[in-house]
Amino acid sequence: MSAREPAARPYDVVVAGSANADLVVRVERRPASGETVAGSDLATFPGGKGANQAVAAARLGARTALLGRVGDDGHGALLRASLERDGVDVSRLAATPGPTGVALITVGPEGDNSIIVSPGANARLTEEDVAGAADLIGAARVLSLQLEVPLPAVLAAARAAEAAGTRVVFNPSPPAPVPAGLLALCDPLIVNEHEAAFLLGEDAPEDPEERASALLTLGPRSVVVTLGAEGAVVAGEGRVPSPRVTAVDTTGAGDAFTGALAWRLARGDGLREAAVFAARVGAAAVRRPGAQSSFPTAEEVEAL
């Protein structure tokens, strides 16, 4: 069976990736080097690109599981409980000695953010972990991947998906060099403008549609470039609009887009159709603070 066709499998979306505690402070402006500025009270939210994408898909109705690692600390317990409340299968979310991953996030007055990630247990996800979860990956219609866990584990997961006929959705974030063998398994490769420029280097075109086409030459089977409030571009299929909303916090909006797109692909939608829906989900997600706490249900998306 083609990886593009819906299969009778127990899971719609399996995510192999990170789980972080997001420590968020709102500021009127970001400090310059050596400067101190006052911020809001510290707020702690469940996050991490892997967990975010799993929750985004689950909120929309997908049967979802997360393959990853958390620490044996309070943050790990918080994340596990939060994922379970949202209906994500955490049976392959292993606990490892040491700290859970943490993201230190500052949010500016326009809802834009800056993020520093301390990987913690995420850095300990191994190829052996992936091999032990080959049955889980093979039980999914779509596997979603990012780069907040080690590249060898990501590549092993993509190869396991290919062997099982599971479609691979890959967001190379945070940006890092990606081997051609991994890019060749992506269907689609999802990048924002910064990630696209990183992959293309100095010769990156300015026009988003040209960038999407240029990314295809690197080997992925399909490409989506996200443009924030301007929507997205599907390589070869043009621009996808985004609803106009007032942004409160953009944290996790890209993960909401990716999780939603993976869910719609698992349902059998074409890539452009899935991207249209995902753009609406991403727009809905910036209207509230936090990452997972802002992700909409299917009913909220329909009302947008």
113 is in an annotated binding site: no
- If one counts every other C-beta atom within 10 angstroms of the C-beta of residue 208, the result is 18
Q: Which amino acid is at 245?
A: V
68 is in an annotated binding site: no
81 is in an annotated binding site: no
285 is in an annotated binding site: yes
234 contacts 275 by C-beta, under 8 angstroms: yes
User: Distance (Å, rounded) from C-alpha 280 to C-alpha 285?
Assistant: 9
Cis peptide before 188 (omega within 30 of 0): yes
40 is in an annotated binding site: no
22 is in an annotated binding site: yes
Q: How many CA atoms lie within 13 A of 41 on its CB side?
A: 3
231 is in an annotated binding site: yes
251 is in an annotated binding site: yes
228 is in an annotated binding site: yes
Q: Which amino acid is at 155?
A: L
Strand-pair category, 20-26 with 43-47 = antiparallel
171 is in an annotated binding site: no
250 is in an annotated binding site: no
- If one counts every other C-beta atom within 10 angstroms of the C-beta of residue 202, the result is 5
192 is in an annotated binding site: yes
Strand-pair category, 232-234 with 223-226 = antiparallel
122 contacts 39 by C-beta, under 8 angstroms: no
Check residue 219 and give left, alpha or beta (phi > 0: left; psi -120 to 50: alpha).
left
| The pair of three-digit structure tokens given for residue 129, joined into one six-digit string | 């972990």
Would you report the helix, strand and coil content of the chain in percent, each value rounded to 5? 40, 25, 40
Is 255 annotated in the active site? yes
User: Distance (Å, rounded) from C-alpha 300 to C-alpha 304?
Assistant: 6
34 is in an annotated binding site: no
52 is in an annotated binding site: yes
48 is in an annotated binding site: yes
Question: Which entry of 41, 86, 255, 269 is annotated as an active-site residue?
Answer: 255
21 is in an annotated binding site: yes
Beta partners for residue 67, in sequence order: 16
Binding-site residue set for ATP: 192, 226-231, 254-255
Residues involved in catalysis: 255
Binding-site residue set for K(+): 249, 251, 285, 288, 290, 294
Binding-site residue set: 20-22, 48-52, 148, 192, 226-231, 249, 251, 254-255, 285, 288, 290, 294
Binding-site residue set for substrate: 20-22, 48-52, 148, 255
